[in-house]
């Protein structure tokens, strides 16, 4: 193949290349322009050849910089953009600007330079990258910030609060009775409700306030520059007033309320999880006060509260447990219920229950919960193999789970995401003959990184008490065990 044929073959390859191929001479005039360049930039070959490149494809605001770069390279041989891939803005014939990726090289003959660029339109790639960045930090349903963004933003906001010596507030809120509403109206309506809730919530906040959806119907708001409880109260009051307006989901008959917990951060040296726990505790105080209201807590309020677990407790025995329960007579018919209630409150969990294993099922014998409408009831039962209980007993799941969403075995159970189950503690109830009667369990709808071995040791002591009581209680004597 002679040189002329080789040159024609190469020219054909470049003309049909998937990338735009543009050549420019020493004076910046276009000397090569392939089919893909016509498609990307909109200029025909005849229109482009012989024209100044910067006037054809470079946005006007970048043309002086381009000219300066060309002159510097020709004069000094120095260039920042040659022989490497770069991304920048280009311009179509229509005037539309769009992102491109290009690689530029050059040749020199008799002191004259020619420059060649392979160019790709990366508009679709940039849109996809933008979507991925959005999904990494935003909730796809409501468009609010997501849990990941919140987990990053809260420590940063706390650091600014300390640096500026200014209080901030963390608001934790959810939709009252959302599960019942979701079940009765359907999941599609539930999703629409969450979207409308997010819109109404943001409408009563400042642009600088950081609003996040953590999951389900749980939302948070980081409000910086809150100098007093009065400021926080005013914000919460405005939000509740907005929620109490009628016409949710275009229905005048649907009433939606929220319980709001507010934690005031005063700059002390605590981790972000502690502030979240404080706001969460305030929210449940609002729920216990009848819902559709807000409660404010400061760290000093919690430090004075008798409900807080002592951090200095290193061991617990049977006598100490009975003192905590304040139950002196094990024959008392309310013993089991009192046990559940006392320990659930002590551990600050949402639901506690005693289960019984029989005939391949797990049956709830006692249930205690913060909420008036817990997701489980006495007498409910289900396949034992589909339960946390069985998997804790046989060792597939640990007795302490700080966040079930981070445990693959737990995530394989449908109930984990459905309720949801986040923090979970469970111990077997063993009778004197070694058989397992069932389990003593408690769980929360939110993760809890503070649960530890001391807490599970308390659970074991309570499980022993329950076992003794069951074996003394006539109605339980003949219950099947495994």
Asked whether the CA dihedral 56, 59, 64, 67 is positive or negative, the reply is negative
Better-scored residue on pLDDT, 78 or 3: 78
Q: What is the structure's pLDDT at 4? A: 65
Q: State the pLDDT confidence band at 222, using cuts at 50, 70 and 90.
A: very high
- Residue-wise pLDDT for 289-348, tens only, equals 788 999 999 998 876 654 444 333 333 344 444 444 444 444 445 777 887 888 888 888
> What is the C-alpha separation between 296 and 281, in angstroms, rounded?
9
Cβ count near 475 (within 10 Å): 7
SS3 sequence, the chain? CCHHHHHHHHHHHHHCCCCEEEEECCCCEEEEECHHHHHHHCCCHHHHCCCEHHHHHCCHHHHHHHHHHHHHHHHHCCCCCECCEEEEEEECCCCCEEEEEEEEEEEEECCEEEEEEEEEECHHHHHHHHHHHHHHHECCCCCCECHHHHHHHHHHHHHHHHHHCCCEEEEEEEECCHHHHHHHHCHHHHHHHHHHHHHHHHHCCCCCCEEEEEECCEEEEEEECCCCHHHHHHHHHHHHHHHCCCCECCECCCCCCEEEEEEEECCCCCCHHHHHHHHHHHHHHHHHCCCCCEEEEEHHHHHHCCCCCCCCCCCCCHHHHHHHHCCCCCCCCCHHHHHHHHHHHHHCCCEEEEEEEECCEEEEEEEEECCCCCCCCCCCEEEHHHCHHHHHHCCCCCCEECCHHHCHHHHCCHHHHHCCCCEEEEEEEECCCCCEEEEEEEEECCCCCCCCHHHHHHHHHHHHHHHHHHHHCHHHCCCCCC
**Domains of the chain, first to last:** 3-123 (3.30.450.20), 138-304 (3.30.70.270), 318-476 (3.30.450.40)
Q: What is the pLDDT of residues 236-268, one digit of tens each?
A: 999 999 999 878 998 878 889 999 999 999 999
Residues taking part in catalysis: 217
- What's the confidence (pLDDT) of residue 478? 43
What is the model's pLDDT at position 18?
Answer: 85
> What is the pLDDT confidence band of residue 434, given thresholds at 50, 70 and 90?
confident
The fraction of the chain above a pLDDT of 70, given in percent, is 90
Q: Over the chain, what is the mean pLDDT?
A: 86
In the predicted structure, residue 84 carries a pLDDT above the cut 60: yes
Q: What pLDDT sits at residue 319?
A: 44
Q: Give the mean model confidence (pLDDT) for residues 456-479.
A: 73
Q: What number of CA atoms fall less than 13 Å from residue 311's CA on the CB side?
A: 3
**Rounded to the nearest 5 degrees, what angle is found at the Cα of 450, between the Cα atoms of 466 and 426?**
30
- Record the pTM: 0.51
> Is residue 476 scored above 80 in pLDDT?
no
Of the two residues 97 and 463, the one the predictor is more confident about is 97
Question: In this predicted model, what pLDDT tens digit does every residue of 58-82 receive, in sequence order?
Answer: 999 999 988 888 888 888 888 778 8
Residue 93: its pLDDT value, please?
95
369-416: per-residue pLDDT in tens? 988 788 888 999 889 988 999 999 888 899 999 889 888 889 999 889
Q: What is the mean pLDDT of residues 163-171?
A: 94
């Amino acid at each position: 193949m002679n040189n002329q044929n080789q040159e024609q073959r190469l020219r054909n390859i470049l003309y049909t290349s998937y990338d735009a191929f543009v050549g420019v001479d020493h004076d910046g005039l276009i000397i090569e322009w392939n089919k893909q360049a016509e498609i990307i930039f909109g200029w025909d070959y005849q229109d482009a050849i012989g024209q100044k490149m910067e006037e054809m494809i470079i946005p006007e605001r970048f043309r002086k910089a381009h000219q300066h770069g060309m002159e510097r390279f020709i004069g000094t041989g120095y260039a920042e953009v040659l022989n490497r891939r770069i991304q920048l803005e280009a311009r179509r014939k229509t005037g539309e600007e769009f992102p491109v990726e290009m690689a530029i090289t050059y040749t020199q003959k008799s002191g004259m330079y020619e420059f060649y660029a392979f160019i790709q339109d990366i508009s679709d790639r940039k849109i996809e990258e933008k979507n991925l960045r959005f999904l990494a930090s935003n909730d796809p349903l409501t468009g609010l910030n997501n849990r990941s963004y919140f987990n990053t933003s809260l420590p940063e906001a706390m650091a600014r609060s300390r640096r500026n010596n200014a209080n901030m507030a963390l608001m934790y809120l959810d939709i009252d009775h959302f599960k019942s509403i979701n079940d009765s109206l359907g999941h599609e309506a539930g999703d629409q409700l969450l979207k409308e809730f997010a819109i109404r919530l943001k409408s009563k906040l400042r642009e600088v306030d950081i609003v996040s959806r953590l999951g389900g119907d749980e939302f948070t708001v980081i409000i910086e520059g809150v100098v007093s409880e009065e400021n926080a109260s005013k914000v919460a009051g405005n939000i509740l007033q907005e929620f109490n307006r009628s016409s949710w989901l275009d229905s005048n008959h649907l009433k939606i309320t929220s319980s709001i917990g507010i934690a005031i951060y005063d700059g002390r040296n605590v981790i972000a999880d502690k502030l979240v726990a404080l706001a969460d505790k305030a929210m449940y105080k609002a729920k216990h006060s009848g819902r559709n209201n807000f409660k404010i807590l400061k760290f000093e309020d919690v430090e004075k509260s008798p409900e807080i677990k002592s951090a200095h407790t290193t061991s617990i025995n049977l006598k100490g447990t009975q003192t905590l329960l304040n139950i002196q007579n094990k024959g008392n018919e309310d013993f089991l219920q009192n046990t559940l209630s006392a320990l659930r409150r002590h551990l600050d969990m949402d639901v506690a229950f005693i289960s019984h294993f029989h005939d391949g099922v797990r049956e709830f014998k006692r249930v205690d919960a913060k909420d008036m409408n817990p997701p489980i009831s006495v007498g409910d039962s289900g396949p034992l193999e589909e339960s946390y209980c069985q998997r804790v007993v046989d060792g597939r799941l640990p007795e302490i789970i700080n966040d079930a969403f981070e445990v693959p075995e737990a995530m394989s159970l449908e109930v984990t995401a459905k309720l949801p189950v986040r923090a979970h503690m469970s111990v077997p109830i063993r009778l004197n003959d070694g058989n397992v009667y069932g389990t003593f369990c408690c769980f929360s709808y939110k993760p809890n990184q503070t649960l530890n071995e001391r807490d599970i040791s308390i659970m074991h002591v309570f499980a022993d008490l329950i076992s003794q009581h069951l074996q003394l209680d006539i109605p339980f004597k003949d219950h099947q065990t495994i």
